[in-house]
């Protein structure tokens, strides 16, 4: 069975999709990632699609699913690295990925996750007061 590697970097998980995914591989990633979030207690996921030269509705749905599922498991997902031609095509196709957080690159994505987690911690502290 093929898998897309999920790397742990501190409290974040990094997924870099570097192959032209067939549908089953995309579904496998949803499974693997949710299990990994549960096993590691990760609070953030960076989904790097800079190597993908197309995103169709199936992959788009997988991205939206991952974002929704991780949120329920108390982790934030940020989609990073989308190529401009992919963004243009996705919007014309009719997919705008509502609810999915995006950043231009991994560095900005990481900053976004840190600030999301910082805000969550502050909220925790103030609710204890």
Partner 1 sequence: MSVVKTETLELRNEQDIVLARQAVRRLSQACGFSLVDQTKMVTAASELARNTVTYGQGGTVLCETILDGARTGLRLTFADSGPGIADVSLAMTDGWTSGNGLGMGLTGAKRLVNEFDLDTKPGSGTRVTITRWK
Q: Which residues bind partner 1 (CB under 8 A)?
A: 20-24, 53-58, 60-61, 83-86, 88-90, 92-95
The DSSP secondary structure of 31-97, one letter per residue, reads: HHHHHHHHHHT-SEEEEE-TT-S---HHHHHHHHHHHHHHHHTT-EEEEE---HHHHHHHHHHT---
Instruction: Between 38 and 85, name the residue whose CB sits nearer to partner 1.
Output: 85
Dist CA 13 CA 45 (whole Å): 5
Q: Are 100 and 68 in contact (CB under 8 A)?
A: no
CB of 117 to partner 1, least distance (A): 31
CB of 98 to partner 1, least distance (A): 12
CB of 95 to partner 1, least distance (A): 6
Instruction: Between 20 and 121, name the residue whose CB sits nearer to partner 1.
Output: 20
Instruction: Between 40 and 50, name the residue whose CB sits nearer to partner 1.
Output: 50
Dist CA 80 CA 112 (whole Å): 11
Instruction: Between 40 and 60, name the residue whose CB sits nearer to partner 1.
Output: 60
CB of 110 to partner 1, least distance (A): 27
């Amino acid at each position: 069975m093929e898998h897309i590697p999920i790397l742990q970097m501190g409290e974040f998980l990094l997924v870099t999709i570097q192959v032209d995914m067939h549908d089953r591989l995309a579904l496998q990633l949803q499974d693997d990632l949710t299990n990994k979030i549960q096993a590691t207690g990760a609070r953030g996921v960076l989904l790097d699609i800079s190597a993908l030269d197309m995103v169709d509705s199936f992959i788009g749905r997988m991205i939206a699913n991952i974002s929704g599922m991780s949120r329920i498991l108390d982790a934030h997902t940020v989609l990073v690295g989308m190529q401009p031609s992919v963004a243009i095509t996705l919007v014309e196709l009719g997919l705008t990925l509502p609810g999915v957080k995006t950043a231009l690159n991994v560095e900005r994505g990481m900053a976004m996750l840190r600030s999301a987690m910082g805000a969550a911690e502050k909220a925790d502290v103030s609710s204890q007061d």
